[in-house]
Amino acid sequence: MSQLNLYVHYDSVTNHIMTRGIDLQLGDFDERFFPENLILAEAPKDFGRYDSQTNFKILRGANEVRDYMEMTQREKIRMSNWIDFESIESMHALTPLEISELLYLFHANRSLRSAFFYKLQNNYVYLTLPNGLNKMFYRHVVHFYPRFQRSVASQMSRLMGEHRTFFRRRTVPVGLMSQELIEDMAPLFANGLKINFEQSFQEGANWHIPLNIIEDQLTLLTLSQRPVEHIGYLIYNTETSIWQLNLNLESNDEFGGVNP
């Protein structure tokens, strides 16, 4: 079984979420908050233009942003680091110090002060890190939830497909977990959560995916862990397409009183 474990670590101080195995796709955005313009850290060959005043490579307008994201998804290539911005006028109002902070953010993958610039009115910063890690700053953390829903459902679909016979293998539709369930899980994100598909198992119509707290010990992400180390399970019922969260009582007390 070639399953990919997922990882989520939320930093409430800077409002960034570190992930592994959870890509970013066009459909993950609420249309009301879709980026109108992007500053790109890199210069994709056939997309964007250089702004003469700042020398930034930019995408102007939601259509250009969509085209670029669709291309990276279709061609399966790495997306440039980027930050969204409200208007060209506001971008031109950046001071030299603010521009240097933005460049530092792109290249060091961390912010000197805040990743949210008042003049840009940005909602996001997207950064790729080594070893398959991704860091994304969200002005509104709930905007991460659709991305998480999709990624978990996609991995569950692959898991179920692998357990079909060769002649029956196909894309298996999987229901998305509810908003309420993600809100119940959210306190766990702050502790570095591993969604352990590699050690998943089936009991009747239910698939059980262990959950482990690994903080920033990423070596544990690909290692099997003892059942006593599981803080609970995500459970998916293949007959009802409903997800449930079942946490150990000790874990429930330790990690913020999440409803079991």
> In this predicted model, what pLDDT tens digit does every residue of 21-53 receive, in sequence order?
999 999 999 999 999 999 999 988 889 999 999
**pLDDT for position 44:** 84
Q: Provide the whole-model pTM.
A: 0.91
Q: Positive or negative CA dihedral for 259, 218, 196, 164?
A: positive
**pLDDT for position 258:** 47
Rounded to 10°, the helix 179-189/145-162 angle is 100
Looking at residues 140-165, what average pLDDT do you find?
91
- Say which DSSP state 78 is in: P
Q: Positive or negative CA dihedral for 29, 33, 37, 42?
A: negative
Q: For residue 169, is pLDDT > 80? A: no
Residue with tokens 């079909």: 164
Give dist(CA 110, CA 42) in Å, integer. Answer: 17
| Percent of the chain clearing pLDDT 90 (strictly above) | 83
**pLDDT for position 72:** 93
Q: How far is CA 2 from CA 52, 163, 198, 221, in A?
A: 48, 11, 7, 14
* 39: number of Cβ within 10 Å: 24
Q: How far is CA 105 from CA 115, 118, 121, 152, 202, in A?
A: 7, 15, 16, 29, 43
H or E stretch including 108? helix 96-108
pLDDT digits over 191-239, tens only?
999 999 999 999 999 999 999 999 999 999 999 999 999 999 999 999 9
